Structure 1
Amino acid sequence: MRKREPWTTWLMLGGRGAGKTRAGAEWVRGIAVGDPDFAEPPLGRIALIGETFADARHVMIEGPAGLLAIHARSERPSWSPSLRRLEWPNGAVAQVFSAEDPDSLRGPQFEAAWADELAKWRHPDDTWDMLQFGLRLGAQPRQMVTTTPRPIPLLKRLLADPLVAVSRAKTADNADNLAPAFLDIVVGRYAGTRLGRQELDGEIIEDRPDALWSRETIELCRTDHAPPLTRIVVAVDPPASSSRRADACGIVAAGIDDGGIAHVLADETATGLKPPQWGEKAIALYRRLQADALVVETNQGGEMALQVIREIDPAVPVKSVRATRGKYLRAEPVSVLYAQDRVRHVGAFPELEDELCDFGPGGLSSGRSPDRMDALVWALTELMLRETPLPRVRML
């Protein structure tokens, strides 16, 4: 018998259609029939736990990637729905349970378990606890969890447990087995949004309690297209240096419509660029959007930042801004604009939105500089919190 690895739980986080069910079913098949890559000898007592009994039956067992579909005919288990029981020709048995009824797991005992869509369970902690008490047979009881993640406490504890092996899969990783229309429509529509990052990329997306922005607020302000805009600016937050360890150069574009609603149009923040490079990048965005001005923070580098722009294109109108208050105090009135439903995000800007939802009184939790947020704050401050020139309407 090959030496066992130290993990006791295999946690597979994945997006919709990423192949989680197939992976769980293949693992159960392997341990039930004694496949040397999974278990040797076979494990004879297995628990299958779904969100509901109907989910367990229609997805884990009878579904197109479920247990009945993936076995060769000679080793396929017999299925007794009334008994909620699968039995393999070699005598291995799997019992089916619903996470709606944690007490149903009292009494039975197992060598292995497959728990599907744990993050959607109605009673996650109670069901999980009862399952752990039942995993008491064999030399090393093991369990597999397949789920699209949500930020529930149980899932966070599993991710922090050194005895939990974690795998991740995105919907796009399984593109060969998905309908092209699904990828074009669903992935195209939700990619980069909070829902898309959770349901397609398998990420756990959380809010920071003391952050100025929330995920819910940003999702409510998302739109696909911008209306005609009366003024557009590109804001630049230059790094203090051009070394490898320098902060990013924040480059964010936004415009305002004739109703006074701001629209965030682009985030082209970049790292590792020398001054001429970030200058060219900002001017290229200015030209592409037919913007009215570049707004450049001059605290870092002072006149050097303005000189960089002038050397590339002296005709570009540049407005210099200087921070006289801390980042939090500058950002707070801009976050209020979001709360007042006066800002829209045209599409998704995952990295920018991550910074917004992780920025609190002490800055970002990572300790990094919030360069994307700074550029956004300068852009929206210029458009909405200062007096602006007379508008001119352009179509994007």
Structure 2
Amino acid sequence: MTRFRPGFALTPVQEEANRLLGGVARHILLRGGSRSGKTFVLIRALVVRALRVPHSRHGVFRHRQIALRASVIQDTFPKVMRCCFAHVRYKWDGQSNRVLFANGSSILFGGLDDSTRTEKILGLEFATIYLNEASQISYGARNMLLTRLAQRCALRTREYIDANPPTTDHWLYALFEAGVEPRSGLPHGDPGLYASMVMNPDQNRINLSDAYLHQLDALPERERRRFLFGEYQSAVEGALWRMDMFRRRAAVSEETRAAIIAEMRRIVVAVDPSGASGPQDLGADEIGIVVAAIDHAGMAHVLEDCSVRDTPMGWARRVIQSAALWQADKIVAERNFGGALVEATLRSIDPAASLRMVTASRGKSARAEPVAALYEQGRVAHHGRFAELESQLCLFSMRGFGGAASPDRADALIWALSELMLEPQAVKGRWQDQGWFSLSR
């Protein structure tokens, strides 16, 4: 039985987190404000697991080793041992950055910023992995660590994560809050395996000074909401799109494509050209190519992001092929870049293509706003998750586009949905209430 120092007690929110850690979920995120006790609770849980089952292995990982050493190895871990496990003796192995317990269990502390160190991690298996400050860790690095969550012992393997909430385009938001796999956008196969909980500094007030809490309260609003209230932030202030606005359906497969096409009233391929000379022209923007449709109920569907960086003939061929694959009614192309050259290039591949050239007479924000309103109304669904496209959308605000490069993919989507949902469409003649026949189109 694990014994704790006399007089030591967790705060109520830490007790609640402790119960969550002992539940059925396999992947657990503790997110919240600064100094709320997240790291303390998770390190304590790791030690409990290590002491419970002999020869079990556990790992604590952070983006940079130097930050892990300063915040966890030299601060939180010794504090946890003094407060909760004063009777337990352990050995620190500085060469391997491991804590060794008398029962043969160990906790490895590793930074992911060094390839040699990462290779050593890949040679081990763990019963628990803990991602400290995961907002700084990439989704690819997290998935690499999951392959090491494979030690066979009496413990159920678990992934522990803590983070000050990042922006809503981060993989943590998709995985734990939106409930979808960050790359495909598909819902979790078993949502019960994922759990998240908010821990904020006010709930840890007994261990903090009033001066520190006042300091957090005095931060600018964006930082205040993140570090005091533990809230996710939009990628830009006043963003027109947020990650929680994207309604999702299953990504299109070869098996489902024909059925989806049959459901749609109109399908278009929109292209936003750039001056790229070829795939190796990394200094140029990509050519945004997006396939979208509208069904008979008036719902819009984003079906595919085919964007590329290629020669004019290369991207034109991609556009024509996408139009054929999706049986598109029309290709919508922006003429601002290259003018007549864009149309000529497309027609050189397919002279009979149904093509509409459009001109950007308004600023990007003005064109984006009515399309963002469609998302706000729940009138657009994404078939899968289009990570790069959605990240670009979340960088639009009333003040324009906040990204470093051009929103090539987002521009193509805006043209496509404007054509389908916002432009006046031809309608059949019909009797009006006034009693006269209208041939308006």
Q: Does the TM-score normalized on the shorter chain lie above 0.5?
A: yes
TM-score range, shorter chain: 0.5 to 0.7
Relative to structure 1, the CA distance from residue 166 to residue 189 in structure 2 (aligned partners, 3 Å threshold; closer, same or farther) is: closer
Deviation track 1:309-353 (CA, whole Å, cap 9, x = no partner) reads 111112221111111111111111101111111111111000000
Give the number of aligned pairs.
Answer: 264
Match among 259, 263, 271 for residue 301 of structure 2: 263
Q: Does residue 236 in structure 1 map to residue 274 in structure 2? A: no
Code of the residue aligned with 1:61 in structure 2: it is: V
Distance in 2 separating the partners of 1:330 and 1:255: 19
The match for 2:143 among 164, 171, 176 is 171
Letter in 1 for 2:355: V
**Alpha carbons 1:298, 1:322 under 8 Å: kept:** yes
CA deviation after TM superposition for structure 1 residue 70, in Å:
2.9
User: Are 2:150 and 1:147 equivalent residues in the alignment?
Assistant: no
Give the equivalent residue in structure 1 for 2:420.
383
**Matches of 1:366 and 1:65, distance apart in 2:** 49
Could you say what secondary structure the match of 1:373 adopts? helix
Q: Determine whether 1:282 maps to 2:319.
A: yes
Does the 8 Å contact 2:271/2:334 carry over to 1?
yes
Q: Which amino acid aligns with 2:345?
A: V
Instruction: Give the corresponding residue for 2:249.
Output: 223
SS, match of residue 147 in structure 2: helix
Contact 2:330 2:354 (C-alpha < 8 Å) held by counterparts: yes
* 1:84 maps onto 2:110 in alignment: no
CA 90–300 in structure 1, closer or farther in 2 if over 3 Å, else same: closer
- Residue in 2 aligned with 1:11? none
Q: Which residue of 2 aligns with 1:61?
A: 48
- Aligned 8 A contact 1:231 1:257 in 2: yes
Identity of aligned residues (%): 33
Note closer, same or farther for the CA distance 1:68–1:229 as it changes in structure 2 (3 Å cut).
Answer: same
Taking the aligned partners of 1:265 and 1:235, their CA distance within structure 2 comes to 12
Q: 1:224 offset after TM fit, Å?
A: 1.6
Distance 1:306 1:239 in 2: 13
In the aligned structure 2, how far is the partner of 1:358 from the partner of 1:259? 30
**Any stretches of 5+ residues in structure 2 without a counterpart?**
1-24, 30-36, 59-79, 94-98, 100-107, 111-129, 152-157, 159-174, 188-193, 195-231, 253-259, 429-441
Structure 1 residue aligned with 2:238: 210
Taking a change above 3 Å as real, the CA distance of residues 208 and 68 of structure 1, as seen in their structure-2 partners, is farther
Cα distance, 1:320–1:80 mapped onto 2, change above 3 Å = closer
Is the 8 Å Cα contact of residues 184 and 251 (structure 2) preserved in structure 1? no
2:180/2:186 contact within 8 Å kept: no
Aligned residue number for residue 206 of structure 2:
none
Question: Distance between the aligned counterparts of 1:296 and 1:65, measured in 2?
Answer: 64
Pair 1:334–1:86, CA change in 2 (3 A)? farther
* Cα distance in 2 between the residues matched to 1:342 and 1:261: 5
- Relative to structure 1, the CA distance from residue 195 to residue 86 in structure 2 (aligned partners, 3 Å threshold; closer, same or farther) is farther
Distance 1:300 1:315, change over 3 A: same
* 1:321-332 paired onto structure 2 within 5 Å: 321-332=358-369
> 1:133 is matched with which residue?
none
Return structure 1 stretches of 4+ with deviation > 6 angstroms.
64-67, 79-82, 165-168, 193-196
Residues 1-25 of structure 1 show CA distances to partners (whole Å, capped at 9, x for unaligned) of: xxxxxxxxxxxxxxx989x9xxxxx
Q: What is the TM-score when the length of structure 1 is the normalising length? A: 0.56
Q: Deviations over 1:160-185 (max 9, x none)?
A: xxxxx999822245436459xx9xxx
The CA distance in 2 between the partners of 1:282 and 1:166, in whole Å, is 32
In the alignment, the residues of structure 2 paired with residue 167 and residue 299 of structure 1 have an alpha-carbon distance, to the nearest angstrom, of 37
SS in 2 for 1:387: coil
1:195/1:357 CA distance change after superposition, 3 Å: farther
Q: Distance in 1 between matches of 2:400 and 2:26?
A: 37
- AA paired with 2:306? E
CA contact (8 A) 2:268 2:329 kept: yes
The 5 Å alignment of 1:319-358 reads 319-358=356-395
Offset of residue 357 of structure 1: 0.4
Structure 1: stretches of 5+ with no match in the other structure: 1-15, 21-48, 72-78, 95-112, 116-144, 151-158, 160-164, 392-396
Question: What do residues 273-305 of structure 1 show as CA deviations (whole Å, max 9, x unaligned)?
Answer: 111000011111112211111111111111111
